[in-house]
Amino acid sequence: MLLGACGAALAVTCILTFDPPRRLVAQGPYRLVRNPLYLGAGLALAGAALFYQSLAVLGYAAVFLLVTHAFVVVYEEPTLRRTLDEDYEAYSRRVGRWWPKL
């Protein structure tokens, strides 16, 4: 119980003191696609569906990717455009949302 309370206190502290980035830094996999973590999670789910030959997990992967796409388009990208202005506009022209631009 004490460990849970300490974890909750740490989480609340991190949330209240969160300082969002003030400039765009596109390094590592973010140089290729704008959402590599979501893409990796979706591909991992799809891989698990193939490995276990499970239509249920494949359906879960499809729903995950659809919900993630909606979240990115409806909330995340407009927020980044509003927060980072021209930097994000140039980045989104240069780097694909889900697929690398050649």
Host domain of residue 39:
21-94
- 38: number of Cβ within 10 Å: 20
Assign 75 a pLDDT band (cuts: 50, 70, 90): very high
In-domain check, residue 78:
yes
φ, ψ of residue 62 to 5 degrees: the values are -65, -45
In-domain check, residue 70:
yes
Residue 22's pLDDT is: 74
In-domain check, residue 10:
no
Dist CA 96 CA 98 (whole Å) = 6
pTM for this entry: 0.76
Residue 18's pLDDT is: 66
The torsion of the CA quartet 9, 14, 16, 20, rounded to 10 degrees, works out to -170
In-domain check, residue 7:
no
In the predicted structure, residue 12 carries a pLDDT above the cut 90: no
φ, ψ of residue 96 to 5 degrees: the values are -75, 155
Tens digits of residue pLDDT in 40-67: 999 999 999 999 999 999 999 999 999 9
Dist CA 96 CA 93 (whole Å) = 7
Q: Please state the domain count of the chain.
A: 1
Higher confidence at residue 50 or residue 16?
50
Residue 57's pLDDT is: 97
In-domain check, residue 102:
no
In-domain check, residue 11:
no
